[in-house]
Amino acid sequence: MKESQFNNPSWNFKLDKVNTYAFCHKVFTPKECQLIIDIAKNKGLIKGETPGENKVRNSKVSWLYPSHGMSWVFSRVTDVVMNLNERFFNFNLFGFNEGFQFTNYVAPGNKYGKHTDRGLDIPVRKLSLSIQLTDPKEYKGGELYLYEAEKGTLMKKEQGTLILFPSYILHEVTPITKGERNSLVSWITGNNFK
């Protein structure tokens, strides 16, 4: 009898139940999204930096913490992240120890090329999040794609939507071709993966 190509001599203890991403609609109302944009812009925007050559990224950012009138944002996002983590990832998490990064992309051409959010000698980022703050009717381009394979998966663009994904997932924001896109991103840290 010929052995099937599907026969496998290994015996797995558990199957992988970690999803590629999860999302939650209407985490913030349009009015709340505008309030977050106003807080970030009033604080001031600086050039977004990445280690090494900065050809992959072209955007401006502002770093936001609870002390910037953002406690209500941290509280609401924490509730959503904990719920989604329990349902879709089940990672051991500490919290937001890097704050929130408000990111501003403007036409023509602001983008953030393919990258992951994990790296050496930084806190152990387990989950990454992106919250869409701008009404998608106000800009063109600026799509968030997550990659499990060569072809990416387009994420939802509705204002107030939170996208959550493991920080090791390759992702990008395509170039803005018209208008302005604002988002709020952060990384939830935890114990080392093992």
47 lies in some domain: yes
115 lies in some domain: yes
pLDDT value of position 12: 78
| Mean pLDDT computed over 25-41 | 98
Residue 163: burial class (beta carbons within 10 Å; 0-12, 13-18, 19+): buried
| pLDDT band per the 50, 70, 90 thresholds, residue 109 | very high
Q: Is the pLDDT of residue 162 over 90?
A: yes
Tell me the residue range of the domain where 67 lies.
22-153+164-172
Q: Is the pLDDT of residue 44 over 70?
A: yes
* CATH number of the structural domain spanning residue 118: 2.60.120
Using alpha carbons, select from 98, 128, 157 the residue that is nearest to residue 21: 128
Q: Is the pLDDT of residue 7 over 60?
A: yes
pLDDT value of position 108: 95
Q: Is the pLDDT of residue 4 over 60?
A: no
Contact 119, 52 (CB under 8 A): no
Q: Name 112's bridge partners.
A: 57, 173
| Mean pLDDT computed over 56-64 | 94
Total domains in the fold of the chain: 1
| Mean pLDDT computed over 47-62 | 82
pTM: 0.91
| Mean pLDDT computed over 114-121 | 91
144 lies in some domain: yes
100 lies in some domain: yes
180 lies in some domain: no
